[in-house]
């Protein structure tokens, strides 16, 4: 393609214009020659053209740059200017086609990268629901100017979980609109139609506004000033489980390639919603199984027992923590605390097996904790349970006066119990890790410890979720627990358990926590 050429004198007047420049200017050369650049083309004044031309003249150095047409952003030119004795020589080459091709390639690359990133984030997210809430930020501004993500729960209730706008000044408005819009949208709205039919809906916002009754939602949508709404259903097994609402401003066309990319994003989001529903179902089943196996404490008459169970924060981590409390045939109360390795429904099922085996062995044999754990270990080996677990078994025994006064303890790799004396002294009962965990060696020997307990002593048994942290050691966790117990000797037992959990857990724990507290009668 030939280059346009023109010569400007020192007063910025046109002295020569070639045929290509005449075509580009869309003016006959006789209408241009002798006129100043600023007079013939007022749009050049204050533009990058004027800035670069004046720099070229002032420095005596040639310049090269690309810029859009002063009066049309759709046309682009490569501009080269040289200063000379007769003025400024300017060459202009139309590079619109190249720029358009580069822009198409750039947008295609951005869209592909966006789909790849969203696919990875949604697939790998430990909490898909939080990832869905972030989805609005990811699609803006590559695909749209504003976005609201809507999820339908298993009861069929729709709720907006995330929103984002490319214009910082309108983000709060959009978030506020997302809080109130669903309760005002009629069945004829694009969102309702997309959810009902499971097909995309594109609608000018001016057609949506009359559907909204007067009120905050309508006022906010008018303030947001979008031109077009595109609503894409999120499908799981062919069933709508949410929608993506994309809002385009007036200066953004609804491009087919952007819509196709948005559909791919919607597919990934629909699968993420399905995973959220599946996680919730699994969590409910696992937690129901686990809670069904947790025992109400027995009434011994001379000891008070309080229990707590706190499930993990992540639904997939509901697992194998358990406790048990029962009376042997001798009438001695037995407290068991244990933790099966793993955090899933399989661990919860294994926990149920071990709990039943241990209770049966302890009740039938009447044996002490060491013999009970040895029997359980042998049974696990003989039955090929393919399970690893920790456990601590404590049997509370009576003195010659008939009152509970000592505890016989055996620990298979479990965090050690702690004793809180009436005067506030805290004692760690045993080594931090105890004997070998269950399921490793069916013939492993088991040690037993007899601990004398003054009247009014509180014994705390717990699982590792109470004391273990990713950023700390077990010893540090044990020290924190001992510090939390000090000063609680005079508190009611139920209150003591609540305060221990409050002091030891920050937010919802990353692992299950089971806790059993036993307080001997003070008289």
Residues 88 and 129 in one domain: no
Strand partners, 517: 306, 460
Residue at a domain's end among 284, 303, 323: 284
- Tell me, rounded to whole angstroms, the distance of Cα 377 from its chain centroid: 40
| Strands, sheet with 303-310, edge to edge from the N-terminal-most edge strand | 303-310, 513-520, 458-462, 418-420, 426-428
- In this predicted model, what pLDDT tens digit does every residue of 38-87 receive, in sequence order? 999 999 999 999 999 999 999 999 999 999 988 777 889 999 999 999 89
- Residue 222 resides in a domain: yes
What is the distance between the alpha carbons of residues 42 and 312, in angstroms, rounded to a whole number? 69
With beta carbons less than 8 A apart as the criterion, state whether 48 and 76 touch: no
Residues 127 and 63 in one domain: no
With beta carbons less than 8 A apart as the criterion, state whether 311 and 512 touch: yes
Please give the residue range of the domain that contains residue 57: 4-94
With beta carbons less than 8 A apart as the criterion, state whether 380 and 442 touch: yes
Percent of the chain with pLDDT over 90: 53
What is the distance between the alpha carbons of residues 345 and 359, in angstroms, rounded to a whole number? 21
Residues 67 and 150 in one domain: no
Task: Identify the CATH number of the domain in which residue 53 sits.
Answer: 3.30.450.20
* Residue 316 pLDDT > 50: no
- In 10 A of CB 163, how many CB atoms? 26
- Residue 191 resides in a domain: yes
Residues 265 and 298 in one domain: no
Task: Identify the CATH number of the domain in which residue 299 sits.
Answer: 3.60.40.10
Residues 393 and 373 in one domain: yes
Task: Identify the CATH number of the domain in which residue 129 sits.
Answer: 3.30.450.40
Residues 336 and 445 in one domain: yes
- In this predicted model, what pLDDT tens digit does every residue of 483-505 receive, in sequence order? 999 989 989 999 999 999 999 98
- Residue 468 resides in a domain: yes
Mean pLDDT of 132-139: 85
Per-residue confidence at 315, pLDDT binned at 50, 70, 90? very low
DSSP letter for each residue of 202-260: EEEHHHHGGGSPSSHHHHHHHHH--SEEEEEEEEETTEEEEEEEEEE-TTS---HHHHH
Residue at a domain's end among 284, 310, 327: 284
Per-residue confidence at 272, pLDDT binned at 50, 70, 90? confident
Residues 259 and 314 in one domain: no
Pick from 227, 251, 254: which is nearest to 143 by CA?
Answer: 254
| Strands, sheet with 320-327, edge to edge from the N-terminal-most edge strand | 320-327, 333-340, 389-398, 404-412, 449-452
Q: Where are the alpha helices (DSSP H) in 398-492?
A: 474-485
User: What's residue 350's pLDDT?
Assistant: 80
- Per the structure block, which two tokens stand in for 42? 């007022």
- In 10 A of CB 302, how many CB atoms? 15
- Residue 388 resides in a domain: yes
Strand blocks (E) in 109-223: 146-152, 158-165, 201-204
Mean pLDDT of 414-430: 94
Pick from 249, 263, 242: which is nearest to 131 by CA?
Answer: 242
User: What's residue 258's pLDDT?
Assistant: 85
- Residue 497 resides in a domain: yes
Return the ∠ at Cα 474 (arms to 435 and 375), rounded to 5°.
20
Residue at a domain's end among 218, 249, 284: 284
What is the distance between the alpha carbons of residues 516 and 248, in angstroms, rounded to a whole number? 58
Residues 81 and 190 in one domain: no
What is the distance between the alpha carbons of residues 106 and 390, in angstroms, rounded to a whole number? 57
With beta carbons less than 8 A apart as the criterion, state whether 321 and 348 touch: no
Residues 75 and 128 in one domain: no
What is the distance between the alpha carbons of residues 145 and 163, in angstroms, rounded to a whole number? 11
Residues 346 and 257 in one domain: no
- Residue 436 resides in a domain: yes
Query: Domain count of the chain?
Result: 3
Please state whether the predicted TM-score (pTM) of the whole model is above 0.85: no
Say which residue, 281 or 358, is predicted with more confidence.
Answer: 358
Per-residue confidence at 424, pLDDT binned at 50, 70, 90? very high
Residues 357 and 390 in one domain: yes
- Residue 503 resides in a domain: yes
What is the distance between the alpha carbons of residues 43 and 240, in angstroms, rounded to a whole number? 51
- Per the structure block, which two tokens stand in for 135? 């989805």
User: What's residue 322's pLDDT?
Assistant: 85
Per-residue confidence at 295, pLDDT binned at 50, 70, 90? low
How far separated are the first and last CA of the chain, in Å rounded?
106
Per-residue confidence at 292, pLDDT binned at 50, 70, 90? low
* CA distance to 135, 193, 202, 212, 222, per residue, from 188 (Å): 26, 6, 13, 10, 19
Residues 440 and 457 in one domain: yes
User: What's residue 301's pLDDT?
Assistant: 74
Mean pLDDT of 473-486: 93
User: What's residue 175's pLDDT?
Assistant: 96
Q: Which residues contact 101 (CB under 8 A, 6 or more apart)?
A: none
């Amino acid at each position: 393609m030939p280059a346009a050429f023109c010569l400007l004198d020192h007063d910025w007047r046109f002295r020569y214009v070639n045929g290509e420049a005449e075509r580009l200017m869309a003016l006959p050369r006789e209408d241009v020659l002798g006129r100043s650049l600023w007079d013939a083309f007022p749009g050049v004044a204050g533009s990058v053209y004027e800035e670069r031309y004046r720099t070229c003249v002032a420095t005596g150095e040639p310049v090269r740059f690309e810029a859009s047409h002063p009066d049309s952003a759709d046309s682009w030119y490569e501009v080269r200017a040289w200063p000379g004795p007769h003025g400024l020589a300017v060459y202009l080459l139309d590079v619109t086609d190249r720029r358009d091709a580069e822009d198409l390639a750039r947008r295609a690359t951005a869209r592909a990268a966006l789909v790849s990133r969203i696919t990875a984030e949604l697939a790998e997210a430990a909490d898909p629901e939080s990832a869905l809430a972030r989805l609005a930020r990811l699609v803006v501004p590559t695909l749209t100017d504003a976005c609201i993500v809507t999820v339908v729960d298993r009861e069929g209730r729709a709720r907006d979980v995330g929103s984002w706008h490319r214009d910082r000044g309108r983000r709060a408005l959009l978030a506020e609109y997302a809080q109130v819009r669903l309760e005002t949208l009629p069945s004829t709205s694009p969102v309702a139609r997309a959810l009902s039919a499971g097909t995309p809906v594109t609608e000018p916002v001016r057609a949506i506004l009359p559907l909204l009754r007067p009120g905050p939602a309508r006022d906010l949508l008018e303030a947001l000033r979008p031109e077009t709404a595109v609503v894409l259903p999120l499908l799981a097994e062919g069933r709508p489980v949410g929608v993506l609402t994309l809002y385009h401003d007036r200066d953004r066309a609804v491009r087919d390639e952007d819509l196709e990319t948005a559909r791919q994003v919607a597919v990934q989001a629909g699968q993420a919603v399905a995973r959220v529903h599946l996680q919730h179902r699994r969590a409910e089943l696992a937690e129901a199984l686990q809670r069904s196996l947790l025992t109400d404490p027995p009434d011994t008459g001379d000891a008070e027992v309080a229990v707590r169970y706190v499930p993990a924060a992540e639904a997939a981590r509901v697992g194998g923590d358990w406790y048990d409390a029962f009376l042997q045939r001798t009438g001695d109360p037995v407290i068991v605390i244990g933790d099966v390795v793993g955090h899933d429904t399989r661990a919860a099922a294994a926990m149920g097996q071990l709990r039943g085996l241990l209770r049966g062995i302890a009740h039938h044999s009447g044996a002490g904790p060491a013999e009970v754990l040895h029997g359980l270990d042998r049974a696990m080996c003989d039955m090929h349970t393919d399970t690893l677990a920790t456990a601590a078994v404590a049997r509370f025994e009576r003195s010659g006066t008939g009152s509970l006064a000592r505890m016989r303890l055996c620990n298979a790799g479990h965090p050690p119990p702690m004793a809180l004396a009436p005067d506030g002294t805290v004692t760690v009962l045993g080594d931090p890790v105890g004997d070998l965990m269950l399921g490793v060696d069916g013939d492993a020997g088991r040690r037993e410890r007899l601990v004398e307990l003054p009247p009014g002593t509180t014994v705390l048994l717990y699982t590792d979720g109470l004391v273990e942290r990713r950023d700390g050691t077990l010893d540090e966790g044990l020290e924190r627990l001992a510090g939390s117990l000090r000063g609680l000797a005079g508190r009611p037992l139920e209150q003591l358990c609540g305060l221990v959990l409050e002091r030891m857990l920050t937010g919802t724990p990353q692992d299950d926590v089971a806790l059993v507290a036993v307080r001997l009668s003070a008289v």
